[in-house]
Chains A and B, each alone.
Chain A
């Protein structure tokens, strides 16, 4: 089966004098597979997903999205991308944002009329009449997921999708991922919430400083009797300078006055 995404020897840095943000990352993602991209802050996860979504250009390596360059707009036809900290044209309402994005996806009037109300309902924004600028972070995150699924994608990239969601919202996103996987959609999940990743992903890659530290199926990465968080902490700490525990003043006892 042809992979929906293949990443081979990917390297990217933002300025010449900077260190590599992504340094030799390779993986492939097949239909119906849920892939977790894990790593501490600044590991390069968002850079990888932005390159796959055609938002950034790689410096080295090869990325193919549905067999072609992600920079080519037609390759993004079957891509749904829910970015981290999503934002939208701030003077539009939720329904208008979805209609705008539906037009970018090339959906006709009939499809728009069918999909937009259902998508708004799924996102819990069907009763919302305010403009996006008045939305909370959680509402923007819901709208971000809504616009990502609007085009019935064959690849759904979720970059920290549950960071600003309440527990009910998180449960909805987990259910969405399960449903999409079952229907053959590939999901690339970039999250700090390791328990969530463990629940929904089949394969994972753990990144630090732009490099893949470990990659494989969940069973390969997490040995029997351990959990993903233990493995993650162990791997990341082994590849990072030791951090001081707490600032010393925190544990200082008050001097008697």
Chain B
């Protein structure tokens, strides 16, 4: 089941297009930044009136910018690929009638679901993994590459987040048209993202002391999937802060704590357990949707 579902996915043009666009996007960002490094060395400064940065500082700033952009690109394409896979992997078998021949064989709906979910997750890991490897290769263009580990951790977090969205789309597309399923999942995902972001702001004390709002956000936070976050955003922010403070010495400015207040810290054990629980719930939803489906 998994093997031929993977063969099917590998021949789907839409996934190939997403992959090519993602790979080209990463390459483009890297090449543009390399061109800027070469062209702008000695002509820019941090903090406006400060001295022009040395090439090492500029290289460091561009590396941070690159990693930050790559994280955004990886996240975006992981989500696109999650929708691409989730909308097709089960839906097409059910809608085309292929499921009629498949379900008449001695295979249980649980095995069918497990095979499809397995194939979808493997495809997601392979596609985002290859994009992540490409990004790391390009990081060698920028020297040290000490944020490579942070990038890898963030790629893992992006895959984990995309898997929850993909499972939701798979479950919904077993009940309804796959485009409607994708729209519903998109809205749900966006709403969950807003809840998590507001909760983070609240935890950082940026939303005041409204008790009702605090309780509401605490409750909502534990009913939506949490986006897993690696320590990459915080590491990048710290490095950027260090770079800014180094180049604007003696001019005052925000403290490190103030600067990092709105940057979420890496997901803890509770968030990871919650993610695993959400994945289990969504995978069960896929199974129950497949089990109930009469073909």
Contact = CB atoms under 8 A, between A and B. Distances in A.
Given A55-B294, A105-B105, A96 B7 contact: yes
A113 to B, nearest CB: 16
Contacts of B7: 91-92, 96
Interface of A: 50, 53-57, 73-77, 79, 81, 83, 85-92, 96, 99-101, 103-106, 131, 144, 147, 151
Given A55-B104, A83-B101, A151-B105, 10 more contacts: A50-B100, A50-B295, A53-B104, A54-B104, A91-B7, A96-B7, A101-B101, A103-B3, A105-B105, A131-B11
B134 interface: no
Contacts of A103: 1, 3-4
Nearest to A151: B105
A147 B105 CA distance: 10
B4 A96 contact: yes
A144 B105 CA distance: 13
5 nearest A-B pairs in the assembled complex, by CB-CB distance? A81-B104, A91-B11, A87-B97, A104-B105, A100-B4
Contact of B106 (A74, A86, A87, A88): A74
A83 B106 contact: no
Contact of A87 (B3, B12, B96): B96
Contacts, number: 85
Interface in B73-124: 92-93, 96-98, 100-108, 111
B54 interface: no
Contacts of A144: 101
Given A91-B11, A96-B7, A73 B106 contact: yes
Given A56-B294, A73-B108, A104 B1 contact: yes
Interface of B: 1, 3-5, 7-8, 11-12, 92-93, 96-98, 100-108, 111, 294-295
17 contacts: A55-B103, A55-B295, A73-B108, A79-B106, A83-B100, A87-B97, A88-B101, A91-B12, A92-B7, A99-B4, A100-B1, A100-B4, A103-B4, A104-B105, A104-B106, A105-B106, A147-B101
Contact of B102 (A85, A104, A106, A131): A104
Q: Which of A81, A91, A106, A147 is most buried by chain B, counting CB atoms within 10 A of its CB?
A: A91
A147 B104 CA distance: 11
Contacts of B111: 73
B106 A106 contact: yes
Nearest to A105: B105
The SS class assigned to the B binding surface is helix
Contacts of B8: 89, 91-92
Nearest to A52: B104
A201 to B, nearest CB: 21
Contacts of A151: 105
Contact of B103 (A54, A86, A99): A54
A73 B294 CA distance: 15
A89 B104 contact: no
Nearest to A90: B96
A195 B4 CA distance: 40
Nearest to B9: A91
Contact of B100 (A76, A86, A96): A86
A141 to B, nearest CB: 12
Contacts of A55: 100, 103-104, 294-295
Contacts of A92: 4, 7-8
Contacts of A54: 103-104
A86 B99 CA distance: 10
A123 to B, nearest CB: 14
Nearest to A144: B101
Contacts of A89: 4-5, 8, 92-93, 96, 98
Nearest to A101: B105
